[in-house]
Amino acid sequence: MAYFLGLRQWRDFRNQQESGALSFHRGGILAYVRHPWYSGGIALLWGIGSCTDVYLLTRIMLTAYIILGTVLEETRLEKELGEQYSAYRREVPMLVPWKKGNGIAGRNRR
């Protein structure tokens, strides 16, 4: 949580230390979808409330914002984690777990 909030990076910067390597997990739900929180956020955004013209525009804009942020985060993670993350990207879908029986998820079921 400290890394997520930026507290660890701030502490390392203040102490003039090099930030340590990121830990990388790909088990559990991360074997099916790379960004489950964003997927859930989009599902919640579209699943709650009525759909009027104003809400529709808001939902479209917020969905686009989440997808753009996810793409930017993917770029950053690939720079930081290298080939390990690139392989993960090829095996696991970004937001919608549509690859049935392929990749990591398919191997975990066997």
Residue 79 has which token pair? 């720079």
How far apart, in whole angstroms, are the C-alpha atoms of residue 34 and residue 70?
10
Per residue in 87-106, pLDDT tens?
A: 999 999 999 988 654 444 44
Q: Are 86 and 94 in contact (CB under 8 A)?
A: no
pLDDT value of residue 80: 84
pLDDT value of residue 53: 79
Output the CA–CA distances (angstroms, integers) from residue 104 to 44, 87, 96, 110, in the order listed: 26, 10, 15, 10
pLDDT value of residue 21: 63
pLDDT value of residue 60: 94
How far apart, in whole angstroms, are the C-alpha atoms of residue 92 and residue 100?
10
pLDDT value of residue 105: 45
Per residue in 18-62, pLDDT tens?
A: 766 667 778 888 899 999 999 999 999 999 888 787 889 999 999
How far apart, in whole angstroms, are the C-alpha atoms of residue 100 and residue 90?
14
Please give the backbone phi and psi of residue 95, each rounded to the nearest 5 degrees, phi first.
-125, -30
Residue type, 108: N
- Residue whose C-alpha is closest to residue 95's, from 77, 76, 68, 75: 68
Specify the pTM.
Answer: 0.67
- Give mean pLDDT, residues 4-20: 75
Q: Are 35 and 67 in contact (CB under 8 A)?
A: no
